[in-house]
Structure 1
Amino acid sequence: MTDVTLSLGKDDRGILPDRMIAALAKAGGIVPTMPFAPDQIQPASLDLRLGEVAYRVRASFLPGRTTVAERIAELTLHEISLSKGAVLETGCVYIVPLLESLALPDDISAAANPKSSTGRLDVFTRVIADRIRGFDQIAAGYRGPLYAEISPRTFPVLVRKGSRLSQIRFRHGHALLDAEALRALHAKERLVDSDDADVSQGVGVSVDLSGLGPGGLVGYRAKRHTGLIDVELRNGYTVPDYWEPVQARPDNALILDPDEFYILASKEAVQVPPDYACEMVPFDPLVGEFRVHYAGFFDPGFGYAGAGGRGARAVLEVRSREVPFILEHGQIVGRLVYEKMIARPDTLYGQGIGSNYQAQSLKLSKHFKG
């Protein structure tokens, strides 16, 4: 592979927008085995596609000093063709080579995350690469294949070659806003509709348990022993077959049952201005026995009035750990960290690119009717 450059200066720090992702691919920094789909490049990320085969492995792993292919050879239980579609069962771990490989310049790094629809199905998905020591993090200058680790937790899912469960962002330099810059941006753009927003270490996001929907609906709890979900099928499944409604209680609290999966919504309406990208990160692992938000990327324009958003709730994918835990209305459960874009994307989230969750409130994944 030849050296790849985007001719970025040292002051061009930030997340690459759509047209620069396309330029990176054209220069050979992203190497797909087949042409990109028309909507594969998003405002600040690239959807990653599953390849032709899935390997069921004995356990999750990080490759460390080896390649992923070497670990697959050691740990594979059996191989499954995805060319005509295959069901990935709950409780199993699969490794799938992706159709996209990388040959990154020495000054471009990358980070991956599950797509929103993936997280809302409780499909635990992470990206791994050769000789990395952390999930979803690709060092600058990496050259090699990418793989998805997939473990459905609640619903069995039907996937096929080309299915998109993960997305990847590309970054030049350090562009994370510090507390002072974040306070200034919030004062200018009102990132959440709260007069007393906590912006000390990212914008605090709290859970709404007061009753957002008809009949005091605050969320949904996933049912067990359901049918499968085809990840390509939109509006194909009825909600009661897969979800139980969760109603508000008089005390505005919710007891999370161990190992159950919930869809809740933030109390705050969120927006991401066009020149910034955003990510949900855990608030503090010491404040509660639960995990929030498997899919953390928010693209430029999410909830933004100029892109048809007018503010949008952050949907929270919540799973309790080993013990029951009480969530209370208004409890902070995550933080939004903002990064600069190198340039404004050509197309914002919500502007004609199949954005499923613009102006959302409490919303299940696109696979469910209503």
Structure 2
Amino acid sequence: MTGVLPRQRIEDLTRTGVIACDAPLAEGQIQPASLDLRLGQTAYRVRASFLAGQGRSVAERLDEFEMHRIDLTPGAVLEKGCVYLVPLQEGLALPAGLHAVANAKSSTGRLDLLTRTITDGGTEFDRIATGYEGPLYAEICPRSFSVLVRPGMRLNQLRLREGEARLSDEALRALHDESPLVDSEPRIDGGLGFSVDLAPRTGTLVGYRAKPHTGVIDLDRIGQYDPAEFWEEVHATDRQIILDPGAFYILVSREAVTIPPAYAAEMAPYLAMVGEFRVHYAGFFDPGFGHEAAGGQGARGVLEVRCHEAPFVLEHGQIVGRLVYERMAEAPDQLYGQEIASNYQGQGLKLSKHFRDPVPKAR
């Protein structure tokens, strides 16, 4: 059967050696349709981001680019604007027909912590071809905040697929007719289109912008940080905002979406021609996200937005991305938001789990 492998199949792969682990699996490491990847003991500060390239190993390339190495065991700060490479505690021995794709976890993306997976012989980030056997590495570049990390922390995740899992637009329309995927008329073109909400029902708060000079965020501290020390509020009174080049924003989609239990989804950027910005650095949506079977009533997608070369006017309802839906090889035995700690089920505009709930400023 083709499709995205569910939690129970991933667990089987850890027992048969397809997924190799340096240490026993941690509680909650296997999600409904993905495996969280854990940082190893050492971080390598490198001069630049790189791919191993065909026929070459990451270890070989480290000889070219390594500046110094850092022991993560006592905890270490990865500094804003620097690039690091960290061997992961998981490796792969993929059989024929099974391939993998990696992505940053939601909290990682909401901290503007660019995290990508690379492999020996790799020519693409986050894509692992069938038959790959070898180690996995995380390339980490903190963009807005310096962060404190330790071995075992989980910044990115792996999804495994058998064959072609992606739904065509025709199949996506049929699925929406059967089980509504969005709380409005669906805009389907290469996936389910979603737009930005810059006209909230109450007030004028539409998002947050990362402050340029802040303290360090310890990734083990959950719900501990004052948002006002790291973020500026973004308000819209005319259904639009202007994105500043180089700035990082947390916004929210206008649509509330659901992922039925037999499907998974990945958020993909929209066509570059719509504007000089990138949306969403962390894109996996698990089965059950926003779905009533897992205690949800639709959930809006948080948008991680970075503007590039020129200021850009973003307007309410502008399409900024799309959700690509995929079939599960079989339904997972546990859904997002059901019997597991799911930080973002039923979410609206929400910062990463490290921050206390913000108190909007009076205007």
Please give the TM-score of this superposition, normalised by the length of structure 2. Answer: 0.97
Structure 1 match to 2:331: 344
How far apart, in 1, do the equivalents of 2:193 and 2:332 lie?
A: 26
SS of the counterpart of 1:20? helix
SS of the counterpart of 2:273? coil
Structure 2 match to 1:106: 96
Q: Offset of 1:237 from its aligned partner?
A: 0.1
The one-letter amino acid of 1:111's match is V
SS of the counterpart of 1:343? coil
Structure 2 match to 1:161: 151
Structure 2 match to 1:205: 194
Structure 2 match to 1:54: 43
SS of the counterpart of 1:350? coil
Question: 1:334 aligned to 2:313?
Answer: no
Question: 1:215 aligned to 2:166?
Answer: no
SS of the counterpart of 2:293? helix
Structure 1 match to 2:360: none
Q: Offset of 1:233 from its aligned partner?
A: 1.1
SS of the counterpart of 1:183? helix
Q: Offset of 1:309 from its aligned partner?
A: 1.1
How far apart, in 2, do the equivalents of 1:233 and 1:124 lie?
A: 19
Q: Is this contact kept in 2: 1:17–1:343, CA < 8 A?
A: yes
Q: Please provide the CA RMSD for this pair.
A: 0.8
Structure 2 match to 1:152: 142
How far apart, in 1, do the equivalents of 2:11 and 2:63 lie?
A: 34
Equivalence map 1:84-163=2 (5 Å): 84-163=74-153
Equivalent residue for 2:232, pick from 236, 244, 267 = 244
How far apart, in 2, do the equivalents of 1:40 and 1:218 lie?
A: 33
Q: Is this contact kept in 2: 1:127–1:147, CA < 8 A?
A: yes
Equivalence map 1:41-80=2 (5 Å): 41-65=30-54, 66-80=56-70
How far apart, in 2, do the equivalents of 1:159 and 1:300 lie?
A: 29
Give the unaligned 5+ runs of structure 1: 1-11
How far apart, in 1, do the equivalents of 2:158 and 2:256 lie?
A: 25
Cα deviation per residue 1:226-274 (whole Å; 9 max; x = unaligned)?
0111111100101101111111222x01100000000000000010000
Structure 2 match to 1:4: none
SS of the counterpart of 2:203? helix
How many residue pairs get aligned? The number is 356
The one-letter amino acid of 1:218's match is V
Structure 2 match to 1:278: 265
Give the unaligned 5+ runs of structure 2: 358-363
Q: Offset of 1:189 from its aligned partner?
A: 1.1
Cα deviation per residue 1:320-369 (whole Å; 9 max; x = unaligned)?
00110010000000000000001111110001211100000000000000
Structure 2 match to 1:38: 27
How far apart, in 1, do the equivalents of 2:352 and 2:272 lie?
A: 26
Q: Offset of 1:200 from its aligned partner?
A: 2.2
Equivalence map 1:316-335=2 (5 Å): 316-335=303-322
SS of the counterpart of 2:157? strand
Q: Is this contact kept in 2: 1:211–1:247, CA < 8 A?
A: no
How far apart, in 2, do the equivalents of 1:104 and 1:25 lie?
A: 12
The one-letter amino acid of 1:241's match is E
How far apart, in 2, do the equivalents of 1:331 and 1:215 lie?
A: 20
Please give the TM-score of this superposition, normalised by the length of structure 1. Answer: 0.95
Equivalent residue for 1:254, pick from 235, 241, 265 = 241
Q: What is the identity percentage for the equivalent residue pairs of Structure 1 and Structure 2? A: 61
Q: Offset of 1:211 from its aligned partner?
A: 2.3
Equivalent residue for 1:229, pick from 207, 217, 236 = 217
SS of the counterpart of 1:180? helix
SS of the counterpart of 1:286? helix
SS of the counterpart of 2:274? coil
The one-letter amino acid of 1:126's match is R
Q: Offset of 1:175 from its aligned partner?
A: 1.2
How far apart, in 1, do the equivalents of 2:315 and 2:162 lie?
A: 39
